[in-house]
């Protein structure tokens, strides 16, 4: 890499633009070409360039994988790109587990991760314990003789609770359990779980890494070569690898990761502070607020607080009654924010977890976790913050 100063590793902003990419050797094209081919010519049987078939090897996907590895894990890390975040998660589970094995998982997970565990892998004989992973001792206590994997998200979705990755990694390491962290919300720009002791990181690249809401994708990143071999074997055998075109788009997205994340966070902090001042709002969930119960951990473990904000609307009577109706009205009135699932794109989105993203979690579990009818989740985009706040104000009014 040209930008590399002697003796210093390139910063993440520089890696985001350059890692995994060099000018294409034939024409000098600066952007990585989209290799739309399923197969590659061989000089004779078995005599090939290292590229045989695109499910297994594709140069555009390889460039993305190298870029993601550099961002999340630095030198020596590996990355594997998938056609969805859930395909990346599936690959980790399929690579590490067999019938009879046990997984300790955080109890506040992306709804699709819970569905994957509960509806697919449980049927295949894997058992799961869900614990409040804010408490590393609770994670340690749930580890049994057949526990192979611990799975956490931090901050959690949608409640923005934090898991102390270092503490959980220590508890897992002591018992030979692999720790996988879903780092979708923070991205490596704000949080690097591998540096805190995690074995694997998964991403839905659909969100901030791509950042433009035009691709569904996922990734697994790690440092251990044996784990790479196992996850890559599943990627090739089960067929979850990302297409060349989508790899190109995600690679284009990661180039601007640093500038986007800075603006997401700046806007989110301003929106969170503004919401905290409003009488219609009972509570605001954002790790960057002093009022967040784990604000100190957020400052220690993350280098920023991200773009996701949760808040609980008061019911008209001041309690939770009527909160659902109020949330519905609020979401219908928004004009700059779009009412939609997903997150992490340049445009601001708002959604109702109980009805939309977390509907696959049974109502009782949702209630026990605190995903109530008044909870609204915002993915704060990179528009002008005054326009965002004016929109929220009009919708609350």
Ligand X SMILES: *Cc1c(COP(=O)(O)O)cnc(C)c1O
Please list the active-site residues. Answer: 55, 110, 182, 207
Three-class SS state of 376:
strand
Q: Write down the residue that tokens 């390889």 correspond to.
A: 62
- The edge-to-edge listing of strands for the beta sheet with 338-339 is 281-285, 308-313, 375-379, 349-351, 338-339
- Choices 55-63, 82-90, 93-101, 121-129 (CB under 6 A): range interacting with ligand X: 82-90
**In terms of CB distance, is 207 or 366 closer to ligand X?**
207
307 binds ligand X (CB under 6 A): no
Other CB atoms within 10 Å distance of the CB of residue 53: 13
Q: What are the CA-CA distances from residue 264 to residues 101, 125, 139, 230, 288 (Å)? A: 39, 41, 31, 35, 12
**Distance separating alpha carbons of residues 68 and 64, to the nearest angstrom:** 6
**In terms of CB distance, is 214 or 393 closer to ligand X?**
214
Radius of gyration of the chain from Cα atoms?
Answer: 21
Q: Give residues 134-163 in contact with ligand X (rule: CB under 6 A).
A: 153, 157
**In terms of CB distance, is 86 or 232 closer to ligand X?**
86
Q: Give residues 93-112 in contact with ligand X (rule: CB under 6 A).
A: 110, 112
Question: In this chain, which of 182, 199, 246, 391 binds ligand X, going by CB under 6 A?
Answer: 182
184 binds ligand X (CB under 6 A): yes
What tokens does 153 get? 């998200």
248 binds ligand X (CB under 6 A): no
Shortest approach of ligand X to residue 208 CB, angstroms?
9
Shortest approach of ligand X to residue 111 CB, angstroms?
9
Taking CB atoms, the residue at the shortest distance from ligand X is 85
Residue 372: Cβ-neighbour burial (10 angstroms; 0-12, 13-18, 19+): middle
**In terms of CB distance, is 32 or 113 closer to ligand X?**
113
Q: Write down the residue that tokens 């931090």 correspond to.
A: 154
Shortest approach of ligand X to residue 78 CB, angstroms?
20
**In terms of CB distance, is 169 or 308 closer to ligand X?**
308
86 binds ligand X (CB under 6 A): yes
Which DSSP category does 10 fall into? Answer: P
85 binds ligand X (CB under 6 A): yes
């Amino acid at each position: 890499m040209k930008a590399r100063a002697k003796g210093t590793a390139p910063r993440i902003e520089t890696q985001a633009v350059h890692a995994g990419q060099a000018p294409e050797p034939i024409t000098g094209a600066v952007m990585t070409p989209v290799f739309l081919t399923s197969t590659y010519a061989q000089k004779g049987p078995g005599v090939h360039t290292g590229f045989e078939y695109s499910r297994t090897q594709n140069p555009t996907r390889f460039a993305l994988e190298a870029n993601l590895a550099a961002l999340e894990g630095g030198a020596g890390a590996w990355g594997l790109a998938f056609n969805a975040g859930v395909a990346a998660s599936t690959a980790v589970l399929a690579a590490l587990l067999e019938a009879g094995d046990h997984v300790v998982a955080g109890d506040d997970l992306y709804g699709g991760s819970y569905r994957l565990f509960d509806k697919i892998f449980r049927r295949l004989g894997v058992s799961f314990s869900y614990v409040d992973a804010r408490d590393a001792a609770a994670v340690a206590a749930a580890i049994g003789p057949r526990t192979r994997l611990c799975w956490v998200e931090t901050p959690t979705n949608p409640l923005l609770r934090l898991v102390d990755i270092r503490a959980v990694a220590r508890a897992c390491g002591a018992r030979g359990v692999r720790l996988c962290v879903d780092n979708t919300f923070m991205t490596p720009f704000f949080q690097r779980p591998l540096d805190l002791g995690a074995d694997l990181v998964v991403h839905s690249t659909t969100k901030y890494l791509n950042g433009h809401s035009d691709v569904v994708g996922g990734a697994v990143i790690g440092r251990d070569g044996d784990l790479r071999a196992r996850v890559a074997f599943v990627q090739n055998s089960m067929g979850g690898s990302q297409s060349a075109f989508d790899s190109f788009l995600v690679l284009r997205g990661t180039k601007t990761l640093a500038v986007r994340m800075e603006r997401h966070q700046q806007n989110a902090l301003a929106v969170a502070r503004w919401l905290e001042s409003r009488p219609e709002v009972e509570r605001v969930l954002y790790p960057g607020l002093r009022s967040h119960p784990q604000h100190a951990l957020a400052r220690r473990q993350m280098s920023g607080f991200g773009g996701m904000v949760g808040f609980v609307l008061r019911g008209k009577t001041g309690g939770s009654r009527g909160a659902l109706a109020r949330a519905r009205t609020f979401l219908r009135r928004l004009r700059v924010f779009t009412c939609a699932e997903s997150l992490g794109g340049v445009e601001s989105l708002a959604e109702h977890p109980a009805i939309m993203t977390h509907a696959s979690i049974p109502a009782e579990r949702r209630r026990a976790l605190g995903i109530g009818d008044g909870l609204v989740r915002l993915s704060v985009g990179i528009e002008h913050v005054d326009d965002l706040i004016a929109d929220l104000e009009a919708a609350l009014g």
